[in-house]
């Protein structure tokens, strides 16, 4: 899998919208054309294309136009960046909780 550098800002921004998360969920079933994505989501192909652009910028989706059909599929780069951010911050959150635990022990 080619792995490209993605801006974590764009990953969070892309996933902060329920329609874009629904597009991601649909694409886990496999690649789909824009019109096949639009129908069950009950939005216009134009709206889908705008959301896809944001998802592409976040490294979450790839699209490819062959003839007149644009096919969309999941990409891993954005998801990997998100996983990495969560992994890096889990220990920070845990440290904070440990410190809180210490304080409670001291006051107990």
Q: Is there binding between residue 37 and a second copy (CB under 8 A)?
A: no
Q: Is there binding between residue 92 and a second copy (CB under 8 A)?
A: yes
**Residue number, 30 or 68, with CB nearest to a second copy:** 30
Q: Is there binding between residue 52 and a second copy (CB under 8 A)?
A: no
- Beta carbons within 8 Å of 61's beta carbon, 6+ residues apart: 23, 24, 27, 52, 55, 72, 73, 74, 75
Element (H, E) at 80: helix 77-107
Q: Is there binding between residue 24 and a second copy (CB under 8 A)?
A: yes
Q: Is there binding between residue 22 and a second copy (CB under 8 A)?
A: no
Q: Please say whether the beta carbons of 52 and 17 come within 8 A.
A: no
- The pairing of strands 32-33 and 61-66 is unpaired
Q: Is there binding between residue 77 and a second copy (CB under 8 A)?
A: no
Contact residues for a second copy, defined by CB under 8 A = 1, 8-9, 12-13, 15-18, 21, 24-25, 27-28, 30, 73-74, 76, 79, 82-83, 86, 89-90, 92-93, 95-97, 99
């Amino acid at each position: 899998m080619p792995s490209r550098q993605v801006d974590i800002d764009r990953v969070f921004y892309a996933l902060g919208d329920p329609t874009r998360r629904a597009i991601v969920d649909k694409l886990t079933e496999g690649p789909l054309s824009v019109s096949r994505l639009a129908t069950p989501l009950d939005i216009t192909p134009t709206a889908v294309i705008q959301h896809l652009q944001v998802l592409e910028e976040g490294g979450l989706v790839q699209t490819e136009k062959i003839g007149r059909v644009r096919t969309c599929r999941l990409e891993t780069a954005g998801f990997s960046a998100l996983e990495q951010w969560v992994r890096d911050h889990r220990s920070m959150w845990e440290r904070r909780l440990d410190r809180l635990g210490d304080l409670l022990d001291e006051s107990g």
